[in-house]
Amino acid sequence: MSNPETNANILRNEAAPDMNNLPADAFELKHNDIHAHIDTNFASQNFWLDAYKRFVKNKGAVIGLLLIVIIIFFAVVGPWMTPYTYNQQTIQQQNLAPRIKGLEWLGFNGTESIITSSGTIEKNGYEANDWDDVYYWFGSDNLGRDIFTRVWEGTRISLLVALVAVTVDILFGLSYGLISGYFGGKADMIMQRIAELLNSIPNLVIVTLMILVMSPGLGAIIVAISLIGWIPMARIARAQMLKLKEQEYVLASRSLGASPLHLIFNTVMPNIIGQIITQTMFSIPSAIFTEAFLAFVGLGIPAPLASLGTMINDAYKFATTHTYMIIFPLMILSLLMLCCNLVADGLRDALDPQQKEM
């Protein structure tokens, strides 16, 4: 009588192929490019490329950046687009409404509605004086100066103030915060008490006192704004340094003999560049607003120079009769501040790794 296990082994051996006589193409490797499946969701990607893709998805930030580029373009070339200069006065052509050649059908024909005690009247100074070849794109002010040229000249000054103030914020505020956070101890305590003392005084009070002590002018405004504008940047830099200085890569660099300056500016600072860029964009509208406020209250740059704040200060007296005088500088100032905030929000979302979608 046969054993069942023996019979099963016999059948298995008969069914099994002879491994020594298999052809060369009997097996096929599966780890080739045709059958390999890579998970593209977690594929490695450059940080800045990833941030760029996240930024362009934010439509508000993209539109804000585009408007900033347009404003900067007109600030550069705008004063050269008309035959007038920012300080040229033509008293005979004062208080003229906007008139643009070829766009009269859109309402830019020089006609304005003036509200008086007896009612609303329509007035066109160009037609009344037969000035067929005279065009003021944004109108003229009470001294006969071209508002278009003065608006873009004022935008230049506002952007220059913001640029210089932000540069000082980065050079001084960033270094102050990084050094304070790295060394800690008594150095950090003393440096932070100084910053808190300056921050406890209202910003506008400090700026106003500086303007009164120094002679009025563009340099005084830049110094006054830069005196206190670096504190937010210093706080962010210090917080990031306290967070990163005990990381493994910093400890490894320190153990290899890196100097404190190398650790601060070569090891830690490149890892907080996203926060630096974001804070820089938030600082720009703050500096622009401060300069505009000082100019509006009469502490700005002296005449005949113009900034957006001085133009608003000069035009608000005529807001009820010649509205166009205040609309254009106010619109450019508002757009500039709004767009900077939109771009800053977009950069913050794009550069924050915690916001990354899986």
DSSP 259-303: -HHHIIIIIIGGGGHHHHHHHHHHHHHHHHHHHHHHHHTT-SPPT
- Return the pLDDT at 62: 93
pLDDT number for residue 348: 85
Q: Provide the 3-class DSSP secondary structure of residue 87.
A: coil
> How far apart (Å, rounded) are the C-alpha atoms in residues 123 and 126?
9
* 165 touches 287 (CB < 8 A): yes
Cβ burial, residue 323 (10 Å; 0-12/13-18/19+): middle
Q: How far apart are CA 108 and CA 110, in angstroms?
A: 6
Task: Quote the CA–CA distance of 216 and 299 in Å, as a whole number.
Answer: 7
Predicted pLDDT of residue 47: 72
pTM flag (> 0.85): no
Looking at residue 357, its pLDDT comes to 47
- 164's CB contacts (< 8 A; 6+ apart) are 222, 226
Distance of alpha carbon 305 from alpha carbon 155, whole angstroms: 11
- Output the pLDDT for position 152: 92
pLDDT score, position 65: 93
CA-to-CA distance for 103 and 230, rounded, in angstroms?
46
Question: Which pLDDT score, from 0 to 100, does residue 164 have?
Answer: 82
Question: What DSSP designation does 96 have?
Answer: P
- The residue behind tokens 């009025």 is 216
pLDDT along the chain (358 residues), means of 10: 55 53 63 54 67 87 93 91 87 87 83 74 84 88 89 89 82 90 90 88 74 74 78 89 88 87 87 84 83 76 80 83 87 90 87 56
Spatial neighbors of 283 by CB under 8 A, at least 6 apart, are 162, 165, 166, 169, 229, 232, 233
